[in-house]
Structure 1
Amino acid sequence: MKPDEFTRAVDKGSIAPFYYLYGDEPYLIEKGVKRLLDRIVSADFRDFNFNIFYGNECKGEEIFSAAQTLPMFADRRAILVKKSQDLSAAALDVLLTYLQNPSPTTCLIFQGEKIDQRKKFFAEIKKSDCLVEFKRPYENQLGAFIREEIKACGKRIDPAAADLLAYMVGNNLQELASQIEKVVTYCGGRDSILMDDIKAVVSDTKVDTVFELADAVGEKDPTKAMRTLYTILRDGEAPLMLLAMLARHFRQLWRVRELMDRRVSSAEIGKSAGINPYFLKKVMDQARNYRTAELKVIFERLLELDSALKTSGGKPAALLERFTMEVCGK
């Protein structure tokens, strides 16, 4: 079952007797669990009809017994098993028996990070179409996530502001949701969130200066690039975070450069690369400074730099300085 199918079914009140929610995006998994619990168990009677277990601490018999218990003062009860990836083989065997004949008055929810679909336990859940994987969204999907989160708060966001927020924070949804909450609070009674609101609130993450560095190397301006790099290093920005932002920027330049070489129109470039028109001209201007062969070499250097930073293959400042000068052609 896909996440959007899961959401629609739960919102309609079509609740299966069990689910396994997993994936590499914990924020979406937590939202999925909350959506289920809010639909299944009233907050007033949750003490009577809700149990939490942890896969690394419990036995299958304990979960089985709780799932067979009848609800009190309600139609249904919920059982949540966190860290389900840590359930023992013996526990999975016990719970497989339950899955083959589940209680109609219980919703058993497994929450985990990964699965092994070769095991009969997961095959049984998949057969019932109750296996839901929540993947971390790609960068071009972040705008939709931001708009939905803002809409849920009763506000709307300017498209360029949404793109800026995605660009500044990246695809860590927990951090993105936290920044959205700050922006919504900052805007108070205003219905619309604008570019200036994002800059005012999210600038505390220090990424403004990182953007300046990305633009400087994109423009092949060594003086500006080195001055900005020294400022970033002086302020204690994490080298790997800085490297990730540079890699993102050059990945975008590479995509735009390929499209420009194919003589694709500006509008189509923006659409294909997922770049808001507000930023498109600047990105295209920078892409003209590089040939695709150059960008390939830069990505090879980024991989080398990533490895060096992670294995202490040199001083971070010296490595970043050398990379910056090489990219700028000096």
Structure 2
Amino acid sequence: MKPAEVRKQIKSGNTAPLYLLEGDDVQGRHDLAMEFATLVDEGLHAFNVQTFYANEATNAGGRDQLISDLLSAARTLPMMAPRRVLAVHEAERILSPRKAKDDEADLPAPEKPGKRQKSLTPLEEFEAYIESPEPLTTLVFVAGSLDSNRRLVKLLRKHAVSVDCGSLDNSSDAARWIKARLDKDNLAIDPQAISLLLQATGLSLGRIRAEVDKLVLFVAGEPAVTARHVKEMVLPQSEPGEDFALGRAIWNNNAREALREVGAQFEAGAQPVMVLGQIRAAAGRLKPDDRAKTGIDAVFRTDLAIKSSAGEPRYLLERLVIELCGR
């Protein structure tokens, strides 16, 4: 399902009990998740709308506690409202944690005949809830890259409404999205500029959004984005040159050198968006491909954090390169 269809469901008030928002457009996933709160009158949000952050679960015990808290909230009846709305951000941390043993291996061994049945583990309760969710609760999982082989992921995709927040159907849709986004900043864009931009980004909405946001800053004071702007600002698909020191440090997992390069660029007056662009270029070329995919997702999370003033940009970028070098 596409975000536009979900928005129609939200507007009508006729939503499903479970949603899984996926795709590489971090901003798009976040914005759509926030819209579910409109199902409840604003004055009743304190009683019926709750947000969870799965990145706070740093180990198996924390994950179990988060799942228990989530299920408790999901099974609570709404107060003076048609339904409760729960959103779980960075849900990949509980749906497909890095270590498989946190999921499959934690399940208890089958009971021997005649022995007393043990109580369900938090993970087993979670699976049971996904198979039979509370109809008066809308539970929204906002996830980055997921391991399709994990049992919990398969189960959720089977029972939840899966929403693709990462791609556009064709170049015409992409062009309309770009024009609408730029219109918010009273900017036009030349047809040739759109063509060049899509050659660099493809139909990945996350990449398109990141490049358009950079272009908005780059052309400040001008009436339109031109092909020249795209050529000068949008990073090419080709491999960076020999002087791409920041990228080399990230590819070599050299956090110390990467931090030194980030610091040097800030001291030279580089804008955060320019530094983030270099990091994104490096993340997109990480090997193997799954490392590049999770790296790009981390870049987009940082981009969102910078735009929402969640921290000082230099600190957020330094934290990002440390994360990328540790992958």
Alignment TM-score, normalising by the size of structure 1 = 0.49
| Higher Cα radius of gyration | 1
Alignment TM-score, normalising by the size of structure 2 = 0.49
Q: Which has the higher helix share?
A: 1
More RCO (CA 8 Å, sep 6+): 2
